[in-house]
Structure 1
Amino acid sequence: MHGDDNTLLFVDTVSHSFRPATSGWFGPKVETRPIHNVTLRVAQGEVVGIVGKRTAGKKTLARTILGLAKPETGQVTFLGQDIAKLTRADKRKLRPLMRQVTPQSVAELDESLTSHALLKEALVDAKVSNADEQKRRIAEALRLVGLDHVAAQSELEDLSLFQQQLVAIAHAIVTRPRLVVVQDPAQGLDVSVQARLLDVLLKLQDELQLSMVISSTDIVMLGSLCDRMVVLRSGEIVEEGLAQQLLETPQHEHTKMLLQQARDKEKAA
């Protein structure tokens, strides 16, 4: 796989832009390039962070990695397969192996179902039909995210926001994916709850050797989670390297600015 047997995901010089179909009242609308010539490699068991402002293109990059947006140039290879060239049937087979957790994940779940039922639904979708295997996987996912029996048997709407986030993570990992793409994991949570959620993500990586791509505006938070980080500005990678190295000796001015903003926010909290 591109000269590296340990590579799980390879984003190779990918660009994706939006071209409005119609012009505005004051002339042609300007083409926007959410991502431009982005190259990103994720190894088996590695956690890679994507840090940047809200307009940096993180969401578009995540959607492109997941095959939800087709790159205009370049390609995304997962487990040796070019995602854009897969048939719908092949993409369905790949879906349990590549999962996502977004701030909207909870809203996409049926709040009238129990946590247990939601996880079983995910397994049925992934063609895991054996009842004993379903029980094993559900129990494992609930244990890994720290949800007890009471929470498992409660309807989603009766759980706290933090517990709902844990259900969304369990829903993503119950299919035993190879890669999980996590977008803005701490969004909407207070500092103490954020710390608990980050502990869960660290536990998943430690116990499952799960590969993750995690995006956030908070470079310090990502630095505590990730092995490597890339800094995205206006859709382009301006710096990348080991997470600790970027935190201690940032080279690019944009990286330094993100670091200062994160530290200022920590002081104000």
Structure 2
Amino acid sequence: MSLDDPILSVDAVSRHYRLPRRSLLAPAPRLAAVQEASLVVGRGEVLGVVGESGSGKSTLARMVMGLERPDGGTILIDGVDPHRCARGELKRLRTRMQMVFQDPFGSLDPRRSIGWSVAEPLLAASGLAGAARKAAVLYMLGRVGIDPDAAPRYPHEFSGGQRQRIAIARALVTKPALLVADEPVASLDVSVQAQILNLLMDLHEAFGLSMLVISHDLAVIASICDRVAVMQSGRIVETGATRAVLTNPGHAYTKELVSAFA
């Protein structure tokens, strides 16, 4: 792992939202969700971003994925800015980055079979068709621990943990280089959380994935992340090796998080 040639580079990125006016003549107030945040993810690295609810973690993740445009700063994935590149380049870039959300049921179309849902990114990004597409879908379902014979079934027929496995299969079927996981186990039972985290680490090692893991839970960060960035009120206040930050935090906010975790 080297940070000299990162898969992801975020430099001084900010994002503001307009809030409702308090009166007809007053200017609309602005909420600073992310303020000049900078981080890098090395190739093959797992970087965690931790902070309390409302600290800007998910907004940062959505900007990385190109789902929201930053007001300032730059984001580079494989040296390409997803917010400033041409449409053709963006399509290619999207095969290199995928996202897993907190709510797997919300990320799967309830009207479609899980096989269709896992295949959809291949249709949109790679053009893989016919028997090759089916083989890729069945392989990835098996790789995340879902019986390939279950491909014709629908999301409501599976448990929460199984749906998250399916969502991970959908994210990885295009063989991305960067996986962004936004609170990937927060909605799951504690016993299932460990299974999904173990699965993510197994896939990380098997496919050489780089990962950006968003979580409010230090236990999640401690279990799978090489480094951690601590986020407070839209700013990244501390970054370092996970073990070093958790055993010897330098920022007052990090110390509060570690104290609460302990």
Q: 1:191 to 1:4 in 2, by over 3 A?
A: closer
2:166 is matched with which residue?
167
Q: Does 1:238 align with 2:258?
A: no
- Unaligned stretches of 5+ in structure 2? none
Shift of the alpha carbon at 1:122?
2.2
Q: In structure 2, give the amino acid aligned to 1:97.
A: R
Aligned position for 1:155:
154
Deviations 1:90-131 (A, max 9, x none): 322321211111124431322233222222222111233243
Q: Matches of residues 36-51 of structure 1 in structure 2 within 5 Å?
A: 36-51=35-50
In the alignment, the residues of structure 1 paired with residue 203 and residue 181 of structure 2 have an alpha-carbon distance, to the nearest angstrom, of: 13
Distance 1:65 1:24 in 2: 35
Name the CA distance, whole Å, in 2 between partners of 1:161 and 1:12. 36
* Residues 200 and 24 (structure 1), Cα distance of their counterparts in 2 relative to 1, 3 Å cut: farther
Instruction: Output aligned runs, 1:100-139, within 5 Å.
Output: 100-139=99-138
Does the 8 A contact of 2:56 with 2:234 survive in 1? yes
| CA apart distance, 1:88 | 3.2
Q: Which residue matches 1:67?
A: 66
CA separation in 1, counterparts of 2:4 and 2:229? 22
- The alignment status of 1:95 with 2:57, answered yes or no, reads no
- Letter of the 1:6 counterpart: D
Q: CA deviation at 1:139?
A: 3.2
Q: Could you tell me which runs of 5 or more consecutive residues in structure 1 were left unpaired when the two chains were aligned.
A: 264-269
Could you say what secondary structure the match of 1:83 adopts? coil
Deviations 1:43-98 (A, max 9, x none): 11111100001110001101111112222221001111122211334322321211
- For 1:221 and 1:129, the matched residues in 2 are separated by 35
The amino acid of 1:120's aligned partner reads A
Q: Write the letter of the residue equivalent to 1:62.
A: A
Aligned residue pairs: how many? 261
* Shift in Å, 1:25: 6.3
The residue aligned with 1:266 is none
Alpha-carbon spacing, 1:149–1:248, altered in 2? closer, same or farther (3 Å): same
Equivalent residues of 2:5, 2:43 under 8 A apart: yes
Aligned to 1:197: 196
Identity across matched positions, percent = 34
Give me the whole-angstrom Cα distance separating, in 1, the residues matched to 2:250 and 2:225: 18
Matched, 1:247 2:250: no
Q: CA deviation at 1:162?
A: 1.0
Amino acid at match of 2:98: R
What is the root-mean-square deviation of aligned Cα atoms in Å?
A: 2.1
Offset, 1:6: 2.9
For the 8 Å contact 2:155–2:163, the answer to whether it is kept is: yes
